[in-house]
Amino acid sequence: MFPTARLSTGALCLLSAACALTLVSRPAHIVHADSEAAPAYASNGDLLPLKDYREWIYLTSGIDMSYSPKAMEMDHSMFDNVFVNPSAYRSFLATGTWPDKTVMVLEVRGAKSKGSINQRGHFQDTAVMGFEVHVKDEARFPGKWAFFEFDSADKNGTLVPQAAPCYTCHAAHAAVDTTFVQFYPTLLPIAKAKGTLAAVYLKEESATGSK
């Protein structure tokens, strides 16, 4: 289970703005998904563990990101790493948007500064501090997408209710199909070229002049 003391909402921005990572200890019936291509679920609706996600396609990393200028200062730093299943990635390269059965993983790791011969800046710690998944499963979820929270990467994930603020925030600010492609450096140019940027995102960028 993740060390809960070091977690904060701010570390989760690359995937799920405004969704706090709640760490719930639950009895878990663990069954590994067999294929990277399709999300798989337990009978209670939990998302099964994604055991090979570190071999999926890497999208980006951030550090200490927050969407609130008044976010509480943390006494530690954390990296976020984002991965997507290879079939969804290849579809995005071709179309500029996500196909059904897209699975995006947010992995949170502590940031260390002094270690080995490193003296400054930050590198990633071995311990995973948080784990969250964003799934596109059009027939299963009313808004096509759903978030799942995990208290460990190798246990089942719990569905985040559709009323949670992460869904609202993603719908209001995400660059492509409710995902934060504006923070994925290799995909943003593709979305621009393919004309798949969301109207809400284009309007927001135009208003802030940061396009």
Positions touching a copy of itself (CB under 8 A) are 10, 13-14, 17, 54-55, 57-58, 60-69, 71, 79, 81, 83, 86, 89, 109, 111, 114-126, 173, 175, 180, 182-183, 185-186, 188-189, 201, 204-205, 210
Nearest to 179 by CA among 197, 161, 202: 197
User: Which is nearer to a copy of itself, 164 or 187 (by Cβ)?
Assistant: 187
- CB contact set of 4 (below 8 Å; sequence gap of 6+): 23
User: Which is nearer to a copy of itself, 66 or 97 (by Cβ)?
Assistant: 66
Q: At closest approach, how far in Å is the CB of 39 from a copy of itself?
A: 21
User: Which is nearer to a copy of itself, 46 or 177 (by Cβ)?
Assistant: 177
User: Which is nearer to a copy of itself, 41 or 150 (by Cβ)?
Assistant: 150
DSSP H or E run through 107: strand 103-112
Question: Beta strand 77-84 with 103-112: parallel, antiparallel or unpaired?
Answer: antiparallel
Spatial distance between the Cα atoms of 12 and 14, rounded to a whole number of angstroms: 6
Q: What is the DSSP-derived secondary structure letter of residue 45?
A: S
Q: At closest approach, how far in Å is the CB of 183 from a copy of itself?
A: 5
Q: At closest approach, how far in Å is the CB of 25 from a copy of itself?
A: 24
User: Which is nearer to a copy of itself, 44 or 95 (by Cβ)?
Assistant: 95
The CA radius of gyration of the chain, in Å to the nearest whole number, is 17
In DSSP terms, 158 is beta-bridged to 149
- How many C-beta atoms lie closer than 10 Å to residue 167's C-beta? 22
Q: At closest approach, how far in Å is the CB of 174 from a copy of itself?
A: 9
Place of tokens 């969407």: 67
Q: At closest approach, how far in Å is the CB of 142 from a copy of itself?
A: 24
Q: What is the largest CA-CA distance in the chain?
A: 51
